[in-house]
Amino acid sequence: MDNLNLVLPEIFVSLSVMFLLILGVFKKDSSQLTFNLSLVTILVAIILTVNETFSLNRITLFNGSIVIDQMSSLMKIITLIGAFLVLGISSTYLKSFKIFKIEYPILILSSVLGMMIMISSNDLMVFYMGLELQSLALYVLASFNRDQLKSSEAGLKYFVLSALSSGLLLYGCSLIYGFSGSTNFDTIANQLTSNEYALTFGIVFILVGLAFKISAVPFHMWAPDVYEGSPTTVTLFFTMVPKIAALTVFIRFLYVPFLNLIDQWQMIIVFLSIASMIFGAIAAIGQTNIKRLVAYSSIGHIGYTLAGVATGTNEGIQSSIIYISIYVVMNLALFSCLLMLKRNEQYYEGIDDLSGLSKNHPLLSLSLLIILFSLAGIPPLAGFFAKFYVFKAVIEQSMYFLAIVGLLSTVIAAFYYLRIIKIIYFDKEKEKYDSDHGIWLKFSLTFSTILILLYFIFPSQLIEMVSRIIII
C-alpha cells in the first residue's frame, strides 16, 4: 500500500470541494461561509503540502503515476498561495458585480485541485485528467459574469479553442502510447530506443496542446479575448496560477521521458520562446485596454520562461521556475493596482483611465511605477533578476542567438511599459478614484510591491529553494 500521506493535500482539497458543494446547496445564503471555508481549505492544503512533502526527494506512488519531488512540492505551494490571494482579493470585486456566489470559490478550488494533480502527474493519463479538471473549471470561471456579453464570449471562446487543443494533446498521448507501449513517463524513458521519429510526432502534438495552455505564440490567439472578457479577478487567476501548473508539466514532460530526444524538441521550444518574446512585445504596443495589454505581456513573459526550458539543463529549469515565481508576484501586484481603479462601484480598465494618476494617488502610482519597471526588467527590481537568471542559463549553453533576441525584445517591451508610466506620470490628471480598499487588496499590493522592490537585497533565498529542484 502506498503512503497516502503524500497525497493528503489533494485528498483534502477534493473532499472539501464536495463538502462545500453540498453545504452550498443545502444552506441558504451561504456564499460568505463557502468563501471563508475555501480560504481555510487552501491554507490547510498549504500547511499539509509543506508538512508532508516539502523535504522529500523524489518518490513515486500508485504504480509510478504520481510523483512527489522538490519541484512538485514547490510548485504546488506557489499555486496554492496564488489561488489563496486571488480568492481573497476577489470578494469585493464580485460583490460589486453581484456575482458573489458559492460556485466561485468551489470552481477555483476544483481548478486548483486539477493543477495539483497536473503538477504531480508522472503519467499521460493522470496528467490529462488533471488538465481537464482544471480546464473545465476555468471555462465556467471565464464566463462567470454571465450577464455580460463579453464574459460569456470569453468563456465560449476559451471552451472551443481549449477543447480543440485538448483533442490534439490527447492524440499526441495516444501516439506516444502506441509507439512506446506505455503512458508512464519513467517507462517511456526506459524504452526510448527505437521509433524516435514516430515519437516526435506525439511530442509535437502534446507540445501544441501545452503551448496552447500557457498561451505561447503561435497558439496564443485565445488569450487577449479571454483575458479581456473575463471578470478581472478571473483574469488575474488566468495569468498566474494555471501557468505554473502548465509550466511544471511542460518541464516534466520534456525532461523525464524525452530528455534523450532533446535534439528533436529543443528547436521547437526555442522557436516558441523567440516567437512569444517578439510577438508579445510588439503586439502589446497598440493596446488600449490594460487587460488586453497584460495578455500580450504575459505572452512575452512566457517566452522568457520557455527560454529557460529550452536549455536542457537543471539550471535552465530552475531559472524558468524562478522566472515564473517572480512573474506571478509582479502580476499579482499589477492586478491589485488595476482593481483599485474603482469609482462609484465601477471598475476602469482602459490605459487612458490611468492618466495623471500620480497627482491624486501618489502611492498607488509609485507602486505601479515599480511594478512596470520590474516587468520591463530594469535593475535593481525583481523582474531584472528573473531575466538575468534565465539568460545566465541560456548563455551557459552558448545559445547566444536566443539570448540576444530575448534581450532586444525586452527593449521593445520596455516601450509599452514606459508608455503606461508616461500616462501615469506625465499626462493630465483625471477624476479621483475611490481610496478605501479592502484589506486584502491593500495587503497583496503592499506585500508584492515590497517583494519586488527589495528582492535585490536577499536574492539568495529563492535561488536556494529552487536549486534543490533537480530533474535530470
**Which residues in this chain contact another protein in the complex, by CB under 8 A?**
362, 373, 378-380, 384, 388, 391-392, 395-396, 400, 403-404, 407-408, 410-411, 414-415, 418, 421-422, 425-426, 456, 459-460, 463-464
CA distance 87 to 105: 7
Nearer to another protein, 352 or 396 (CB): 396
- Which CB atom, from 262 or from 378, has the smaller least distance to another protein? 378
Question: What's the CA gap between 246 and 75, in Å, rounded?
Answer: 10
User: Considering beta carbons, is residue 236 or 452 the nearer one to another protein?
Assistant: 452
Q: How far is CA 308 from each of CA 318, 384, 393, rounded to the nearest angstrom?
A: 8, 15, 7
- Comparison of 26 and 458: residue with beta carbon closer to another protein: 458
Q: Which is nearer to another protein, 197 or 400 (CB)?
A: 400
Q: Report yes or no: 80 and 38 within 8 Å, Cβ to Cβ.
A: no
Report how far residue 20's alpha carbon sits from residue 199's, in angstroms, rounded to the nearest whole number.
Answer: 43
Residue in the block written with cell 529549469: 317
Residue 135 makes CB contacts below 8 A (sequence gap 6+) with: 114, 162, 166, 213
Q: Can you give 349-364 as a three-state secondary structure string?
A: CEHHHHCCHHHHCHHH
| Sequence-separated contacts (24+) of 447-450 with Cβ below 8 Å | 448/329, 448/330, 448/332, 448/333, 448/336, 449/333, 449/367, 449/370, 449/371
Radius of gyration of the chain (CA): 21
Question: What cell numbers appear for 457 in the block?
Answer: 537585497
243, 324 in Cβ contact below 8 A? yes
DSSP secondary structure code for residue 260 in this structure: G
Q: At what angle do helices 362-376 and 314-340 cross, to 10 degrees?
A: 160
**Cα–Cα distance between 254 and 122 in angstroms, integer?**
12
| Nearer to another protein (CB atom), residue 6 or residue 326 | 326
Q: Which is nearer to another protein, 148 or 397 (CB)?
A: 397
Is the CB of 40 or the CB of 470 nearer to another protein?
470
Q: Given the complex with another protein, which of 152 and 467 has the nearer CB atom?
A: 467
**Which of 88, 91, 82 is closest to 46 using CA atoms?**
82
Q: Which residues contact 118 (CB under 8 A, 6 or more apart)?
A: 127, 130, 131, 134, 245, 246, 248, 249
